[in-house]
Amino acid sequence: MAPRDSGILQGEKTDSQGAGKLGALLMSCSKILIIGSGITGLSCAGKLADAGLNVMVLDKGRGVGGRLATKRTRCGRQFDHGAQYVTARAPNFHAVLRSMRAAATVDVWEAGAPEPHFVGVPGMSGLPKHLVTGLDVSQNTTVETVGARDGGWTVTTQTDSLAASHVVVTTPAPQITPLIGVDHPLTRRLLSVEMAPCLTLMAAFKDGQPIPFTSKRMPQQPLSWIAYNSSKPSRLSQGCWVAQASVDWSVENLERDNAELAELMLPMLCAQIGADPSAAQYVAAHRWRYARSTSPLGEPFLRDNSRTLYLGGDWCIGPRVEAGWISGRAIADDILKRI
Protein backbone atom coordinates (compact mmCIF):
# COMPACT_ATOMS: atom_id res chain seq x y z
CA MET A 1 0.00 0.00 0.00
CA ALA A 2 1.35 3.41 -0.96
CA PRO A 3 1.92 5.85 1.90
CA ARG A 4 -0.62 8.58 2.32
CA ASP A 5 0.15 12.24 2.07
CA SER A 6 -1.47 13.87 5.08
CA GLY A 7 -4.94 15.14 4.31
CA ILE A 8 -5.06 17.10 7.56
CA LEU A 9 -5.27 20.80 6.83
CA GLN A 10 -3.96 23.70 8.84
CA GLY A 11 -5.90 24.00 12.07
CA GLU A 12 -6.95 20.35 12.12
CA LYS A 13 -3.92 18.82 13.86
CA THR A 14 -3.82 18.11 17.57
CA ASP A 15 -0.84 19.06 19.73
CA SER A 16 1.96 16.51 20.14
CA GLN A 17 0.88 15.38 23.61
CA GLY A 18 -2.72 14.95 22.48
CA ALA A 19 -1.58 13.14 19.34
CA GLY A 20 0.43 10.70 21.45
CA LYS A 21 -2.55 9.85 23.64
CA LEU A 22 -4.77 9.54 20.61
CA GLY A 23 -2.30 7.23 18.90
CA ALA A 24 -2.33 4.84 21.87
CA LEU A 25 -6.11 4.72 21.75
CA LEU A 26 -6.21 4.18 18.01
CA MET A 27 -3.93 1.16 18.19
CA SER A 28 -6.53 -0.61 20.33
CA CYS A 29 -9.49 0.22 18.05
CA SER A 30 -11.17 -2.33 15.80
CA LYS A 31 -11.60 -1.72 12.11
CA ILE A 32 -13.83 1.07 10.82
CA LEU A 33 -15.72 0.06 7.70
CA ILE A 34 -16.81 2.71 5.23
CA ILE A 35 -19.38 1.68 2.64
CA GLY A 36 -19.02 3.59 -0.61
CA SER A 37 -15.96 5.11 -2.29
CA GLY A 38 -17.50 8.33 -3.51
CA ILE A 39 -16.28 11.71 -2.32
CA THR A 40 -17.93 11.29 1.09
CA GLY A 41 -16.42 7.88 1.78
CA LEU A 42 -12.97 8.88 0.58
CA SER A 43 -12.86 12.18 2.47
CA CYS A 44 -13.93 10.43 5.66
CA ALA A 45 -11.55 7.50 5.20
CA GLY A 46 -8.65 9.79 4.39
CA LYS A 47 -8.91 11.83 7.55
CA LEU A 48 -9.39 8.76 9.76
CA ALA A 49 -6.45 6.97 8.15
CA ASP A 50 -4.25 10.05 8.53
CA ALA A 51 -5.12 9.99 12.24
CA GLY A 52 -3.95 6.39 12.50
CA LEU A 53 -7.22 4.48 12.56
CA ASN A 54 -7.67 1.08 10.96
CA VAL A 55 -10.02 1.87 8.06
CA MET A 56 -11.32 -0.16 5.13
CA VAL A 57 -13.51 1.15 2.30
CA LEU A 58 -15.98 -1.24 0.65
CA ASP A 59 -17.39 -0.46 -2.79
CA LYS A 60 -19.48 -2.48 -5.21
CA GLY A 61 -17.95 -0.90 -8.30
CA ARG A 62 -14.80 -1.55 -10.27
CA GLY A 63 -13.50 1.96 -9.71
CA VAL A 64 -13.60 4.56 -6.98
CA GLY A 65 -15.31 7.93 -7.10
CA GLY A 66 -19.02 7.29 -7.53
CA ARG A 67 -20.36 10.04 -9.78
CA LEU A 68 -16.85 11.51 -10.14
CA ALA A 69 -16.54 9.19 -13.09
CA THR A 70 -14.84 8.97 -16.47
CA LYS A 71 -15.94 6.63 -19.25
CA ARG A 72 -13.19 5.39 -21.55
CA THR A 73 -14.18 3.53 -24.70
CA ARG A 74 -12.40 0.89 -26.72
CA CYS A 75 -12.03 3.37 -29.56
CA GLY A 76 -10.05 5.75 -27.32
CA ARG A 77 -12.79 8.23 -26.53
CA GLN A 78 -13.16 9.73 -23.06
CA PHE A 79 -16.23 11.24 -21.36
CA ASP A 80 -16.93 12.69 -17.92
CA HIS A 81 -20.39 11.20 -17.72
CA GLY A 82 -21.15 11.99 -14.07
CA ALA A 83 -20.20 15.15 -12.20
CA GLN A 84 -19.02 17.69 -14.73
CA TYR A 85 -16.86 19.86 -12.49
CA VAL A 86 -16.26 20.80 -8.86
CA THR A 87 -16.57 24.18 -7.18
CA ALA A 88 -15.30 25.19 -3.74
CA ARG A 89 -16.79 27.62 -1.26
CA ALA A 90 -15.38 26.30 2.02
CA PRO A 91 -11.73 27.36 2.58
CA ASN A 92 -10.67 23.84 3.62
CA PHE A 93 -12.11 22.24 0.51
CA HIS A 94 -10.56 24.93 -1.67
CA ALA A 95 -7.20 24.13 -0.05
CA VAL A 96 -7.68 20.44 -0.90
CA LEU A 97 -8.34 21.28 -4.55
CA ARG A 98 -5.31 23.57 -4.66
CA SER A 99 -3.12 20.76 -3.34
CA MET A 100 -4.52 18.43 -5.98
CA ARG A 101 -3.80 21.02 -8.65
CA ALA A 102 -0.22 21.22 -7.44
CA ALA A 103 -0.06 17.42 -7.78
CA ALA A 104 -1.42 17.66 -11.35
CA THR A 105 -4.50 15.55 -10.60
CA VAL A 106 -6.87 18.54 -10.81
CA ASP A 107 -6.92 21.58 -13.09
CA VAL A 108 -9.22 24.52 -13.81
CA TRP A 109 -11.59 24.28 -16.75
CA GLU A 110 -11.85 27.68 -18.42
CA ALA A 111 -15.56 27.49 -19.19
CA GLY A 112 -16.39 31.17 -18.77
CA ALA A 113 -17.96 30.66 -15.34
CA PRO A 114 -17.79 33.32 -12.58
CA GLU A 115 -16.16 30.85 -10.15
CA PRO A 116 -13.37 28.35 -10.91
CA HIS A 117 -14.55 25.01 -12.26
CA PHE A 118 -12.11 22.34 -11.09
CA VAL A 119 -11.92 19.09 -13.04
CA GLY A 120 -9.96 15.91 -12.51
CA VAL A 121 -7.00 15.17 -14.80
CA PRO A 122 -6.98 13.47 -17.25
CA GLY A 123 -10.65 12.80 -16.40
CA MET A 124 -12.96 13.50 -13.48
CA SER A 125 -11.91 10.16 -12.01
CA GLY A 126 -8.47 11.69 -11.44
CA LEU A 127 -9.84 13.48 -8.38
CA PRO A 128 -10.98 10.39 -6.43
CA LYS A 129 -7.89 8.48 -7.56
CA HIS A 130 -5.82 11.13 -5.80
CA LEU A 131 -7.89 10.84 -2.61
CA VAL A 132 -7.74 7.04 -2.53
CA THR A 133 -3.93 6.84 -2.54
CA GLY A 134 -2.77 4.74 0.40
CA LEU A 135 -6.26 3.72 1.52
CA ASP A 136 -7.39 0.12 1.99
CA VAL A 137 -10.19 -0.31 -0.55
CA SER A 138 -12.07 -3.49 -1.42
CA GLN A 139 -13.74 -3.06 -4.80
CA ASN A 140 -16.33 -5.32 -6.45
CA THR A 141 -17.64 -5.86 -2.90
CA THR A 142 -21.42 -5.61 -2.53
CA VAL A 143 -22.63 -5.02 1.02
CA GLU A 144 -25.90 -6.78 1.79
CA THR A 145 -26.61 -5.96 5.44
CA VAL A 146 -25.28 -3.96 8.37
CA GLY A 147 -26.23 -5.53 11.71
CA ALA A 148 -25.50 -4.71 15.34
CA ARG A 149 -23.38 -7.09 17.41
CA ASP A 150 -21.99 -6.89 20.93
CA GLY A 151 -19.79 -3.82 21.05
CA GLY A 152 -19.87 -3.21 17.32
CA TRP A 153 -21.22 -4.21 13.93
CA THR A 154 -21.25 -7.04 11.42
CA VAL A 155 -21.17 -6.07 7.77
CA THR A 156 -22.26 -8.89 5.48
CA THR A 157 -21.12 -8.91 1.87
CA GLN A 158 -21.92 -11.35 -0.91
CA THR A 159 -18.95 -13.47 0.15
CA ASP A 160 -18.01 -12.63 3.73
CA SER A 161 -18.94 -11.20 7.14
CA LEU A 162 -16.75 -8.43 8.54
CA ALA A 163 -16.59 -7.14 12.12
CA ALA A 164 -16.27 -3.43 12.78
CA SER A 165 -16.24 -1.03 15.71
CA HIS A 166 -17.78 1.72 13.55
CA VAL A 167 -19.64 1.69 10.23
CA VAL A 168 -20.02 4.69 7.92
CA VAL A 169 -22.58 4.30 5.12
CA THR A 170 -22.14 6.80 2.28
CA THR A 171 -24.40 5.33 -0.40
CA PRO A 172 -27.32 7.35 -1.82
CA ALA A 173 -30.06 7.72 0.79
CA PRO A 174 -32.59 5.43 -0.94
CA GLN A 175 -30.06 2.57 -0.87
CA ILE A 176 -29.46 2.73 2.89
CA THR A 177 -32.69 1.27 4.29
CA PRO A 178 -32.12 -2.19 2.73
CA LEU A 179 -28.73 -2.27 4.48
CA ILE A 180 -29.72 -1.21 7.99
CA GLY A 181 -33.32 -2.49 7.96
CA VAL A 182 -36.73 -0.83 7.85
CA ASP A 183 -37.01 -1.00 11.65
CA HIS A 184 -33.82 0.95 12.35
CA PRO A 185 -34.61 4.35 13.96
CA LEU A 186 -32.53 6.21 11.36
CA THR A 187 -34.68 4.86 8.54
CA ARG A 188 -37.44 7.30 9.48
CA ARG A 189 -35.00 10.20 9.19
CA LEU A 190 -34.22 9.18 5.62
CA LEU A 191 -37.84 9.54 4.53
CA SER A 192 -37.49 13.31 4.17
CA VAL A 193 -34.60 12.98 1.71
CA GLU A 194 -35.47 13.03 -1.99
CA MET A 195 -33.09 12.25 -4.83
CA ALA A 196 -33.64 12.62 -8.56
CA PRO A 197 -32.18 10.68 -11.49
CA CYS A 198 -30.04 12.00 -14.32
CA LEU A 199 -29.79 10.48 -17.80
CA THR A 200 -26.54 11.20 -19.62
CA LEU A 201 -25.65 11.05 -23.31
CA MET A 202 -22.08 10.59 -24.55
CA ALA A 203 -21.43 11.33 -28.23
CA ALA A 204 -18.28 11.70 -30.32
CA PHE A 205 -18.23 13.21 -33.81
CA LYS A 206 -15.95 13.23 -36.82
CA ASP A 207 -13.36 15.98 -37.10
CA GLY A 208 -14.65 19.20 -38.56
CA GLN A 209 -18.00 19.25 -36.79
CA PRO A 210 -19.11 22.59 -35.28
CA ILE A 211 -18.17 23.53 -31.72
CA PRO A 212 -20.53 26.45 -31.02
CA PHE A 213 -19.90 26.60 -27.26
CA THR A 214 -17.91 25.06 -24.43
CA SER A 215 -20.86 24.47 -22.14
CA LYS A 216 -24.51 25.41 -22.10
CA ARG A 217 -27.09 25.24 -19.32
CA MET A 218 -30.77 25.13 -20.29
CA PRO A 219 -32.81 24.36 -17.14
CA GLN A 220 -36.18 24.33 -18.91
CA GLN A 221 -35.14 22.07 -21.80
CA PRO A 222 -35.10 18.25 -21.93
CA LEU A 223 -31.30 18.47 -22.19
CA SER A 224 -30.51 20.83 -19.34
CA TRP A 225 -26.70 20.68 -19.61
CA ILE A 226 -24.41 20.25 -22.61
CA ALA A 227 -20.62 20.35 -22.46
CA TYR A 228 -17.85 19.94 -25.00
CA ASN A 229 -15.92 17.40 -22.95
CA SER A 230 -12.82 17.74 -25.10
CA SER A 231 -12.44 21.39 -24.05
CA LYS A 232 -11.46 20.36 -20.53
CA PRO A 233 -7.72 20.40 -19.73
CA SER A 234 -5.62 17.32 -20.54
CA ARG A 235 -8.47 15.48 -22.27
CA LEU A 236 -7.04 12.82 -24.55
CA SER A 237 -9.67 12.76 -27.32
CA GLN A 238 -11.36 15.39 -29.48
CA GLY A 239 -14.93 15.67 -30.70
CA CYS A 240 -16.50 14.40 -27.45
CA TRP A 241 -19.73 15.85 -26.05
CA VAL A 242 -21.70 15.11 -22.88
CA ALA A 243 -25.37 16.02 -22.46
CA GLN A 244 -27.41 15.55 -19.30
CA ALA A 245 -31.19 15.51 -19.19
CA SER A 246 -33.36 17.58 -16.89
CA VAL A 247 -34.90 16.04 -13.78
CA ASP A 248 -38.37 15.91 -15.38
CA TRP A 249 -37.16 14.27 -18.59
CA SER A 250 -34.97 11.84 -16.64
CA VAL A 251 -37.88 10.78 -14.42
CA GLU A 252 -40.18 10.35 -17.41
CA ASN A 253 -37.70 8.20 -19.34
CA LEU A 254 -35.80 6.50 -16.51
CA GLU A 255 -36.82 2.92 -17.34
CA ARG A 256 -36.02 3.03 -21.06
CA ASP A 257 -33.00 0.95 -22.03
CA ASN A 258 -29.74 2.72 -22.80
CA ALA A 259 -29.90 2.14 -26.55
CA GLU A 260 -33.34 3.75 -26.73
CA LEU A 261 -32.19 6.66 -24.55
CA ALA A 262 -29.24 7.31 -26.84
CA GLU A 263 -31.51 7.26 -29.88
CA LEU A 264 -33.83 9.83 -28.27
CA MET A 265 -31.12 12.13 -26.90
CA LEU A 266 -28.73 12.30 -29.89
CA PRO A 267 -31.03 14.39 -32.14
CA MET A 268 -31.64 16.82 -29.26
CA LEU A 269 -27.90 17.27 -28.78
CA CYS A 270 -27.29 17.70 -32.51
CA ALA A 271 -30.00 20.35 -32.73
CA GLN A 272 -28.14 22.40 -30.11
CA ILE A 273 -24.63 22.07 -31.53
CA GLY A 274 -25.53 22.13 -35.23
CA ALA A 275 -24.19 18.66 -35.99
CA ASP A 276 -25.55 15.93 -38.25
CA PRO A 277 -26.56 12.84 -36.23
CA SER A 278 -25.09 10.65 -38.98
CA ALA A 279 -21.66 12.17 -38.21
CA ALA A 280 -21.61 10.62 -34.73
CA GLN A 281 -18.90 7.99 -34.43
CA TYR A 282 -19.78 6.94 -30.90
CA VAL A 283 -23.10 7.23 -29.03
CA ALA A 284 -24.02 5.81 -25.62
CA ALA A 285 -26.30 6.63 -22.69
CA HIS A 286 -25.81 6.19 -18.97
CA ARG A 287 -28.41 6.09 -16.21
CA TRP A 288 -27.70 7.70 -12.83
CA ARG A 289 -30.69 6.62 -10.77
CA TYR A 290 -29.73 8.69 -7.71
CA ALA A 291 -27.84 11.68 -9.07
CA ARG A 292 -29.15 14.80 -7.37
CA SER A 293 -30.41 15.55 -3.88
CA THR A 294 -33.53 17.60 -4.54
CA SER A 295 -34.63 17.61 -0.88
CA PRO A 296 -31.55 17.24 1.34
CA LEU A 297 -31.49 16.25 4.99
CA GLY A 298 -30.29 19.65 6.20
CA GLU A 299 -27.42 18.46 8.44
CA PRO A 300 -24.00 16.94 7.63
CA PHE A 301 -24.73 13.36 8.75
CA LEU A 302 -26.90 11.04 10.80
CA ARG A 303 -25.63 9.05 13.79
CA ASP A 304 -27.48 6.32 15.67
CA ASN A 305 -27.79 5.99 19.45
CA SER A 306 -24.72 3.76 19.68
CA ARG A 307 -22.71 6.65 18.18
CA THR A 308 -20.84 4.16 16.03
CA LEU A 309 -23.11 3.98 12.95
CA TYR A 310 -23.01 6.98 10.65
CA LEU A 311 -24.90 7.84 7.46
CA GLY A 312 -23.65 10.57 5.17
CA GLY A 313 -23.36 11.90 1.65
CA ASP A 314 -24.14 14.91 -0.50
CA TRP A 315 -27.82 14.08 0.12
CA CYS A 316 -27.31 15.48 3.61
CA ILE A 317 -26.48 19.01 2.48
CA GLY A 318 -27.11 19.55 -1.24
CA PRO A 319 -26.30 18.51 -4.81
CA ARG A 320 -22.65 19.52 -4.95
CA VAL A 321 -19.44 17.51 -4.75
CA GLU A 322 -18.24 19.81 -1.99
CA ALA A 323 -21.31 18.85 0.08
CA GLY A 324 -20.23 15.21 -0.02
CA TRP A 325 -16.69 16.13 1.04
CA ILE A 326 -18.01 18.23 3.96
CA SER A 327 -20.26 15.37 5.09
CA GLY A 328 -17.37 12.89 5.09
CA ARG A 329 -15.06 15.20 6.99
CA ALA A 330 -17.76 15.98 9.56
CA ILE A 331 -18.24 12.27 10.21
CA ALA A 332 -14.50 11.75 10.63
CA ASP A 333 -14.31 14.69 13.03
CA ASP A 334 -17.14 13.25 15.12
CA ILE A 335 -15.55 9.79 15.29
CA LEU A 336 -12.20 11.23 16.35
CA LYS A 337 -13.85 13.45 18.96
CA ARG A 338 -15.64 10.50 20.54
CA ILE A 339 -12.76 8.02 20.68
For residue range 326-339, list pLDDT tens digits in order.
999 999 999 999 98
Where do the DSSP E strands lie in 59-218? 71-72, 78-79, 106-109, 117-120, 137-138, 143-149, 152-157, 161-164, 166-169, 194-205, 215-217
- Per-residue pLDDT 10s for the chain (339 aa) are 444 554 444 334 444 344 444 444 444 457 999 999 999 999 999 999 999 999 999 999 999 999 999 999 998 999 999 999 999 999 999 999 999 999 999 999 998 788 999 999 999 999 999 999 999 999 999 999 999 998 899 999 999 999 999 999 999 999 999 999 999 999 999 999 999 999 999 999 998 888 999 999 999 999 999 999 999 999 989 999 999 999 999 999 999 999 999 999 999 999 999 999 999 999 999 999 999 999 999 999 999 999 999 999 999 999 999 999 999 999 999 999 998
State the Cα–Cα distance between residues 131 and 106, nearest whole angstrom: 11
Domain encompassing residue 58: 30-65+132-193+298-338
Judge if 88 and 158 occupy the same domain: no
Give yes or no: residues 142 and 84 share one domain. no
78 and 176 fall within a common domain: no
Could you tell me if 48 and 40 are in contact, meaning their C-beta atoms sit under 8 angstroms apart? no
Query: Per the domain annotation, does 237 fall within a domain?
Result: yes
Whether 250 is in a domain gets the answer yes
| Residues 182 and 48 occupy one common structural domain | yes
Q: Residue 18 domain-assigned?
A: no
CA dihedral 35, 41, 47, 53 (to 10 degrees): 10
Q: What is the pLDDT of residue 208?
A: 86
As a whole-number percent, the residues of the chain with pLDDT over 70 amount to: 91
Share of the chain above pLDDT 90, in %: 86
One domain, residues 148 and 102 = no
CATH number at residue 332: 3.50.50.60
Q: Is position 11 within any domain?
A: no
The CATH number of whichever domain residue 254 belongs to comes to 3.90.660.10
Is 198 found in the same domain as 188? no
* Whether residues 208 and 185 fall in one domain: no
Q: Which pLDDT score is estimated for 319? A: 94
Helix, strand, coil percentages, rounded to 5, for the chain:
30, 30, 40
- Give the end-to-end CA distance of the chain in Å, rounded to a whole number: 26
What is the number of structural domains in the chain?
2
Q: In this structure, are 148 and 183 located in the same domain?
A: yes
Are 185 and 317 contained in the same domain? Answer: yes
Could you tell me the pTM of the whole model? 0.91
Q: Distance (Å, rounded) from C-alpha 103 to C-alpha 87?
A: 18
Distance CA 94, CA 87 (A): 8
Beta-carbon contacts of 46 under 8 Å, excluding residues fewer than 6 positions away, are: 4, 7, 131, 135, 332
Same domain, yes or no: 210 and 229: yes
